[in-house]
Amino acid sequence: MINFKEQAVKLIATKVSDLSNEEILELIEVPPSYDMGDYAFATFRLAKTFRKSPNVIAAELVEQLGDSEYFQKIEQVGPYVNFFIDREKLAEAVLSQIFTEKNNYGSSTMGDGKKVIVEFSSPNIAKPFHIGHIRTTVIGNSLSKIYKFLGFDVVTINHLGDYGTQFGMLISAYKKWGNREVIEANPIKELLALYVRFNSEADEDPSLKDEARYWFKELEDKNPEAIELWQWIRDISLKEFNRVYDMLNISFDSYAGESFYSDKMPAVLEEMKKKGIVQESEGALIVDLEPYGMPPALIMKKDGSTLYTTRDIAAAIYRKDHYDFYKNLYVVASQQNLHFKAWIKIVELMGHQWAKDCIHIPFGMVSLEEGTLSTRKGRVVFLEDVLNTAIENTLKIIEERNPNLENKKNVAKQIGIGAILFQELFNQRIKDYTFNWDRTLSFEGETGPYVQYSHARANSLLVKGGFSIEETADFSLLTNEDEINIIRLIYDFPNTIVDSMEKNEPYFITRQIVEIAKAFNKFYNSTPIIVEDTKLKNSRLALVYSVKTVLNTGLGLLGIEAPDKM
């Protein structure tokens, strides 16, 4: 596709020899409104060299540049040279590419097959898959799709929390109060009840904490009873989790959790000792990170058991050896910023240059209106309950507004779950937010259902107009402002995907498809589409097809389905 910005740079470069193409590109801005052009070149930096005012420089440049096949006009506005893209060329470039590439529009081979690992979701075994897990799950899933779309070889890993002192607590609690049949009938809620009871009683009787530590050490030392209970708890928990993943259409290439690295940690500890970066402190092993502005990192407790830090280092080394990754992404809450900063620094101190390719992608926290989520106190909202409630509420709306809709239950699932996922991805990931049922399930405003409805409306128009992609469309007939605004937004869509990848921010795509949906609905309400003039009808339906295609792709990159009917 024509890169109009690049064409503007080339034009300016023919008249401004003092700046490189890269420097000219940095000085090109997007004006606040299209009335002022598609691109604007600021001349302030040239004032010293040319010994003239920026306004005069801009006026002279416009005169020197003359006409261009890529721009309808080039004009001066104060100290800026403003470029107006040729509308006919823009429409032809964008729509013909969509007709050729269809749902691959915006994809590329820029990743060149380089390996990218995305670790996300990673719930703790035997604990609820609650609303607090939705952010890592949804952001990570979207990022994995974005990287794949851009040609990277993506490996998705669910680094299950299936190890640690919490298992000592569960084993101890089960042996005291557990009933296998009762637990298997409702695994997560019953295991949570045991976990909450153990913590409550341990507050009164500290010896219970020693008992938990004992059973975790037994697990690390391969005690058969501890291993059998651990495996059983892991299996029934994963079965429960997979029910939620199925609802979200999410799958993983690997479920290698913390336990997978238990036999790999001795070698890591040995490597640290050989390289002299660990030291003993009150019987435990630590790495002194104070020179780097961080507290000491505990690597091994005095009883010989390991910690998250040790396991994450072992996991990173294994992944580099096994996958030889280009990037190793961790979609984990911002509360863990220090943890990631510490262990990545330790990997660097171990002499591994690839430590810089381990990237923590933090996100803000979810809280409840009544306070912070707390598994330990049993204060959680189950994610499955949220999804089911969204589906039920959507079905009620469909029954009221379109009771004869085909496949109502499936469409309710697509819209209900889509509403929740869209809300999660609508703002910058680093922002905290408070979970609120009404806001989460609202279908008004800039929401997933709004974009899905726009997609369904476009599909309905194509069916009604008898659109065929094989028919010739004259894109030069698309000249009114509402049509061109849609084309401009679609033109920007591939760059938006690249921005999302480079900044690991899916919300760029979310915002872009909302803007495309808005522009499409404005066009729908202002412009007759299915008209008697066959050429004009085919051209406008070609634009509708392009909107539908891009909305479908954008929603797909967010992990959201796009119904054809609503």
Catalytic residues: 127, 130, 133
Long-range contacts of 368-377 (CB under 8 A, 24+ apart): 368/434, 368/435, 369/434, 369/435, 369/436, 373/130, 373/131, 373/132, 375/124, 375/127, 375/128, 375/130, 375/192, 375/195, 376/195, 376/196, 376/199, 377/196, 377/199
Distance, first Cα to last Cα, the chain: 34
* CA distance linking residue 289 with residue 483, whole number of Å: 58
Provide the CB-side half-sphere exposure for 136 (13 A, CA). 28
Would you call 293 helix, strand, or coil by DSSP?
coil
* CA distance linking residue 16 with residue 540, whole number of Å: 41
* CA distance linking residue 315 with residue 313, whole number of Å: 5
The per-type count for the chain, helices as H runs and strands as E runs, is 21, 14
CB atoms within 10 A of CB 528: 11
Closest by Cα among 48, 51, 54, 45 to 19: 45
* CA distance linking residue 81 with residue 189, whole number of Å: 65
State which H helix or E strand residue 549 sits in. Answer: helix 534-557
φ, ψ at 359 (rounded to 5°): -120, 120
Q: Find all residues with CB under 8 Å of 455, minimum gap 6, and list them.
A: 517, 548, 551, 552, 555, 562, 563, 564
Q: What burial class does residue 274 get, using C-beta atoms within 10 Å of its C-beta: 0-12 exposed, 13-18 middle, 19+ buried?
A: exposed
* CA distance linking residue 420 with residue 138, whole number of Å: 10
User: C-alpha angle with apex 16: 10 to 19, nearest 5 degrees?
Assistant: 85
3-state secondary structure 257-268: CHHHHHHHHHHH
Helix 308-323 and helix 265-274, axial crossing angle in degrees, nearest 10: 100
- Distances in Å between the Cα of 96 and the Cα atoms of 101, 428, 525, 544, 546 are 9, 33, 25, 13, 10
* CA distance linking residue 253 with residue 257, whole number of Å: 12
* CA distance linking residue 271 with residue 259, whole number of Å: 20
Closest by Cα among 303, 304, 325 to 316: 325
Query: Is 38 within 8 Å of 83 (Cβ atoms)?
Result: yes
Q: Which amino acid belongs to residue 449?
A: P
Q: What burial class does residue 221 get, using C-beta atoms within 10 Å of its C-beta: 0-12 exposed, 13-18 middle, 19+ buried?
A: exposed
Q: Find all residues with CB under 8 Å of 50, minimum gap 6, and list them.
A: 57
